[in-house]
Amino acid sequence: MHIPDGFLDAKTAVISAGMAAVGIGIALRSVRRAASARRVPLIGLAAAFVFAAQMLNFPVAGGTSGHLIGAVLVAVLLGPSAAVLAMTAVLVVQCFMFADGGVTALGANVFNMAIVAPGVGYAIYALVRRAAGDSLRSRLLATAFAAWCSTVVAAIVCAGQLALAGTVAWKVAFPAMAGIHMLIAIGEAVITTLVVAAVARARPELLASRPPTSASSHYTELTAYGLLVSLGLVVFVAPFASGWPDGLEKVAAALGFEHRATATPIMAAPLSNYTIPGFQSAVSSTIVAGGVGILVAFVLAYVLARALTPRVDAAHGRGAGGASPCA
Amino acid sequence: MAAAPEVRPLVHDELLNPYRHGASLIHRLPAPVKLLGAAACVLVSVLLPRTAWPAYAGMGAGLLLVALLSSVPLRYLGRRLLLAEPFAVGVALLALLQDHGLQVFLAMLAKSTLCLSCIILLNSTTRFTDLLQVFRRLRVPALLVVTLALMHRYLFVLVDETARLRRARRSRTFTTGRVFGWGLTATVAAQLFVRTSERAERVYAAMCARGWKL
């Protein structure tokens, strides 16, 4: 999802850099207000942790492998503002030391991966936890669902930026980015949840000790990120989403491109699934496809959370609980 | 084949540290000049119109001259460029799927190659810590600079730690199942996080002992 140099025009680069600066400003302010100097080295080391953890390979089919992105993982473990700063540091180092992601696109990359991804992820995590309770299972469910959603939303914003810059047309960028990242997001959700579950097994207190900020400042922080991300969606995504259903020719053209697109290797299966036959309008079919995708992701998140929670509270869990002291 | 990356030396110096020490003219230039020069170069190549092929060629020649002056081996620079290029090509491929895609694709490729060469030249001849000093002078917020400095300092430590954790895991695990493997790798990542947060505590104590304040 790293946008290289030369893919954004001046307008898009400046707008997204401005929004990234605002997001970093919110994060700096809330870390300073929390007035916990103890957390400053932790944020720096967490950035190095994300970088090192991204080097761990998770084998996928056919010799390919994926790796963690880490935004939601850090947001769940350290809170949203620490995650924003840590991911920003990761992106700056990747840009200047490893030429991964462009200098002029740094603002856009920071906005997508260091502000939208942890912001959306943490908001969904907090919402699901609020709805589902404070047990480990509900935390894992919240983590998995948040990781999936945040990856997909970040990819959609990225597609919007490429389209706004006039580099890649929205009708190509959106299905390609959203489709591919709906699959990548499954991997991200599984890895993030596995890591959080393993941290909960090894050191439950690390997961429990969240930043001791007061409830009101916590909500101010989340509201600020929420407003910023919404602004990003309005600027980068809304113009295309609303100007979309302008005639069947465009849809046909999009479908024609999609058929051609399936021949190239970077376009995997999700693209052809993305428009559902029987729906005339691209908008309704996208809404249905998106809704089905979110539902499937939620069910997968629930199954994963169930599978990873030790069954102590279940009926036969008493046997396991009784056996462990002997072991 | 799969085991090959595991036997690398602990500090992946070439992978993690792009800086190549030297005493050339380019190395001796002050870091702010190099950073601003590289930024200007990137900006110009981004803002050039898509069909300005002679200008692209001219900039490429200029960068080649700088590369020769820097006395960093061209093979090294070329290898780094090849390592970074696939990401740009991946995004550029998306542009192929629209009207007039080929022209946009070639322009994107030229622009991103120029910018990548520029940044690779910059980080091959300038230490990251020197760049951090420039950031500090450019009034980047202190908290962000501290975060970047700590990340850069502990990057190497944590990557080595990861290698040790993986080696320990591999020497105790005899199965290679995919599902099981994901769980094991996630455990390594979780353990890495536990060690990271413990190390952060020690680093904080050490920083306080030396009079550090936020």
Domain boundaries of chain B, sorted by first residue: 20-126, 141-209
State CA A76 to chain mean position distance. 12
pLDDT, tens digit (0-9, with 9 covering 90-100), for B102-158:
888 888 888 889 999 999 999 899 999 999 999 999 999 999 999 999 999 999 899
In terms of CA atoms, which chain A residue is nearest residue B2?
Answer: A63
Rounded CA-CA distance A272/B58 in Å is 43
Strand partners, A66: A58
**CA dihedral for A298, A299, A304, A309, sign (positive or negative):** positive
CB A109 within 8 A of CB A13: no
Q: Is the pLDDT of residue B2 over 90?
A: no
Helix, strand or coil, per DSSP, at residue B22: coil
* Token duo for residue B205: 């104590």
pLDDT, tens digit (0-9, with 9 covering 90-100), for A39-82:
889 999 999 999 999 888 887 776 677 788 899 999 999 989 99
Hey, what's the torsion of the CAs at A298, A302, A303, A304, to 10 degrees? 100
**What single letter denotes the amino acid at residue A26?**
I
Is residue A260 less than 8 Å (CB to CB) from chain B?
Answer: yes
Q: Which residues of A touch B122 (CB under 8 A)?
A: 96
Its pTM surpasses 0.80: yes
Q: Which residues of B touch A104 (CB under 8 A)?
A: 42-43, 46, 115
A28: nearest Cα among B144, B213, B147: B144
Rounded CA-CA distance A86/A77 in Å is 12
Question: Cβ of B109: how many Cβ atoms within 10 Å?
Answer: 18
More confident residue, A245 or B78: B78
Q: Which residues of B touch A268 (CB under 8 A)?
A: none
Q: Considering CB atoms only, which of A41, A197, A260 is closest to B200?
A: A41
In terms of CA atoms, which chain A residue is nearest residue B106?
Answer: A6
Rounded to an integer, the average pLDDT of A293-315 is 76
Question: Cβ of B138: how many Cβ atoms within 10 Å?
Answer: 11
CB A110 within 8 A of CB A11: no
ipTM of the complex: 0.88
Q: Which domains does chain A have, with CATH numbers?
A: 10-316 (1.10.1760.20)
Helix, strand or coil, per DSSP, at residue A101: coil
CB A108 within 8 A of CB A5: no
Q: Is the pLDDT of residue A324 over 70?
A: no
